[in-house]
Structure 1
Amino acid sequence: MKTTVQELALTIDPTRSSTAKTRTTALAVLSTLLAACSIVPGQHMETPPTLAVSSAPDGTVQQSQQIPIQAIDLNLINQMRAGAAQMQQANQLDLFSKPAPYKLGPGDVLQVTVWDHPELAAALGQQVQNSKPSDPTQGFVIDDQGNLSFPYLSHPIHAAGKTIGEVQREVRRDLGREFREPQVTVRVASYRSAQVYVDGEVRTPGGQAFNDIPMTLTEAINRAGGFSQNADRAHLTLTRNGTSYPIDLTQLVAAGKNPQDIMLKPGDMLRVTGRDQNQAYVMGEVNKPTAATPTPDGTLTLADALSQAGFINQGTANPRQLYVIREQDGKPLVYHLDSASPVSMLLANQFDLHPKDVVYVDNGPLVRFNRVLSLLLPAINAGLTAAIVTK
């Protein structure tokens, strides 16, 4: 059998084999370390980011598309605020109207008084069950057909959909057939035909009955005890006939519009959202990753969110890589802010966050290398130890 020169050298100097093994192991570890530097553990924002789009029934990825990143500057902030104001006004056009007199309906209880006719004073009307402590025990109830019956009337009067003044004139005109110039007074003793429902972050949620005071937006909230401490005044929702109308009280007042001009209708539902339901999430290289909560007026800027997260971690963060990720109409939007300059915080103080936005602060290159190294050091030490033991 032939012997190679290398084998002969190893036979003459056995220690050379251990040295070669040690060098080979060190080179392998070093190669692995250099190759792993391109692999960053944890989250990292690519520029520009890519989104995998799957359209096959089996869930396989068909293609990927790049998501454009928009820089946060004054032009973007002005465009976003103008668009939000126009959308808010367009959604609320149907809500503004003038107050109208109360229209009677089935279930309302009326008190009818004919002066100087004591024989009619005994006609106290149908006994009704109290629905509220303020309701009277007796009165004339408008039936489910919307009709009002009263002694000496030639026929029941259809009262539903009419004002109290119209019903009073009809009762007086009909009683004029039996009495000479009767003096008639008709008043509503109990309002029970129409309600709105106020739900969410108010002190006393529940149904609020319509009465002679116009049911405006602020009137409905006041009757429900006012806002609770967790109420988000920028995110109210009015549901009417199957359509939901978002209402931002803060923006309304800032635009010079009076919430008293929003008139509610019977059957409306008003919901006040809680601030804890409209949080934005701050993660990445910040001192305290958190879910940022809007202020009581419902606003939450990028600067507010960073403040609640303890601001950017100066030791690990790359301040030039601050991103806001938002979902709109089922598509992701990414906004970028270079926060290396303190002046950029002026932009952050004007950039309004939306509910469920994600604020992400990327890490620096040296931090990525240190994290990779910290993961590989145990393997390096183990490899060197094994090489030394083998030697």
Structure 2
Amino acid sequence: MNPRLVALLLTSLALQGCAFAPGQHMTPDDVTTVKPDEPRAQLVEVTPKSLQQQQQRATADAKALPQALLDYKTPEYVIGAGDTLLVTVFEHPELTAPGSQDQLDANTREVLNDGTLYFPYVGRIRASGRTVSEVREQLRMGLAPQYTEVKVDVKVLRYNSQRILLSGSFKVPGPQPITNIPLSLVQAVSVAGVDLTDANLAGLTLRRDGRDYLIDIDSLNRKDSQLSRIFLKDGDYLHLNSNSRNKIYVLGEVRNPQVISFGTTRLTLLEALGNSGGLSPDSADGDAVYVIRGAENFAEATSTVYHLNARKPTAYLLAGQFELKAQDVVFVGPADITRWSRFISQLLGSASVVQTGAAFRN
């Protein structure tokens, strides 16, 4: 091959090198100019104003608990099958055995599966579906023909008829009883304990009456949280999802590209970059820091690409306030000189092949 032709070819390729240098890179035009068959995306500059809007949306989402959950008020406890009642008839030891634990157990009455219980001189009465005060009055009236001015007290000794169930990333999953003391969501989660190494705190599902409600328990630490207003009822099911899908992908010109798993709702762009070793000082373009947030339905919805100019030190203040979401992709593009260097490396490799082929021919 003619050496002049080879030189001319290499020169021509070199002049175009910046345009098609190898390696991934992104520009604002890549976002705003989209082909019809590509996912749609909008470019948003990370500025103090856009951060304020993001934080306002996050605060609104944290407050936006389903009204049906907030409106639920715990009613007076209703006795059910399986509950054990302690019945005391004052001043009548033949009906109430005072003293030891064994004697105390003798005063208990378990509500049977058919909802009834038996008491001397009264017979079998229905207790299921009634409150403690209603059962007390029923026993008093049943004893009235035998005892004048009888005084009766009824308490639930063991609560077995109503419960909630917890599963997933709890330290102690399983049932918890509903008692005469209202059980709040916060209390139930606290009793079960959260496995912080595995739990997705933003992924608690409460299933009630056939409906699923997604609750962010990490928002409990935020100002004006309303989680403490949610109370549970019989049959509620709580499932705390794993953080296995709570991942951030950090790619491009960082020292340690990686996948970051997190269990809370708050992971900032600065933390993600810091966990990845920061921008590569030799190859990264500080003006090419992007957060790619895909839409759930690419065909109908528009994805968002956030752009941060990290060449200014103050940009890291913005990065420290920018909250990432699960499945976000953080991409740091290469500097022009890096793409040029990679292009030259490949070009020289191609040139050596050409020269070897020419020498072989000669």
Return the TM-score normalized by structure 2: 0.84
Corresponding residue number in structure 1 for 2:233: 265
Partners of 1:340 and 1:72 lie apart in 2 by 13
Corresponding residue number in structure 1 for 2:342: 371
Corresponding residue number in structure 2 for 1:302: 269
Corresponding residue number in structure 2 for 1:80: 54
- Counterpart of 1:69 (choices 28, 43, 47) is 43
Corresponding residue number in structure 1 for 2:116: 147
The residue correspondences of 1:1-391 to structure 2 (distance < 5 A) are: 21-35=2-16, 37-49=18-30, 63-64=37-38, 66-96=40-70, 97-120=72-95, 139-153=108-122, 156-160=125-129, 162-224=130-192, 226-230=193-197, 231-257=199-225, 259-294=227-262, 298-330=265-297, 331=301, 332-391=303-362
Q: Give the conservation status (yes or no) of the 8 Å contact 1:112–1:185.
A: yes
Corresponding residue number in structure 1 for 2:101: none
Partners of 1:87 and 1:297 lie apart in 2 by 15
Partners of 2:122 and 2:32 lie apart in 1 by 76
Residues 62 and 275 of structure 1: CA distance in aligned 2, closer, same or farther (over 3 Å) = closer
Task: Say which SS state the counterpart of residue 20 (structure 2) adopts.
Answer: coil
Supply the RMSD in Å over aligned alpha carbons: 3.0
Task: Say which SS state the counterpart of residue 212 (structure 2) adopts.
Answer: strand
- Residue 153 of structure 1 aligns to which amino acid in structure 2? V
Of structures 1 and 2, the larger Rg is shown by: 1
Instruction: Kindly indicate whether structure 1 or structure 2 has the higher relative contact order, using CA contacts under 8 Å at least 6 residues apart.
Output: 2
1:310-342 CA-to-partner distances (Å, cap 9, x unmatched) read: 111121111111111113442422111111101
Task: Say which SS state the counterpart of residue 189 (structure 1) adopts.
Answer: strand
1:100-153 CA-to-partner distances (Å, cap 9, x unmatched) read: 43222222222323344455458xxxxxxxxxxxxx799433344433443333
Q: Give the conservation status (yes or no) of the 8 Å contact 2:96–2:107.
A: no
Which runs of 5 or more structure 1 residues have no equivalent in the other structure? Answer: 1-19, 54-60, 123-135
Q: Give the conservation status (yes or no) of the 8 Å contact 1:233–1:249.
A: yes
Identity of aligned residues (%): 32
Q: How many residues align?
A: 349
Corresponding residue number in structure 1 for 2:102: none
Residues 246 and 366 of structure 1: CA distance in aligned 2, closer, same or farther (over 3 Å) = same
Residues 250 and 223 of structure 1: CA distance in aligned 2, closer, same or farther (over 3 Å) = closer
Return the TM-score normalized by structure 1: 0.79
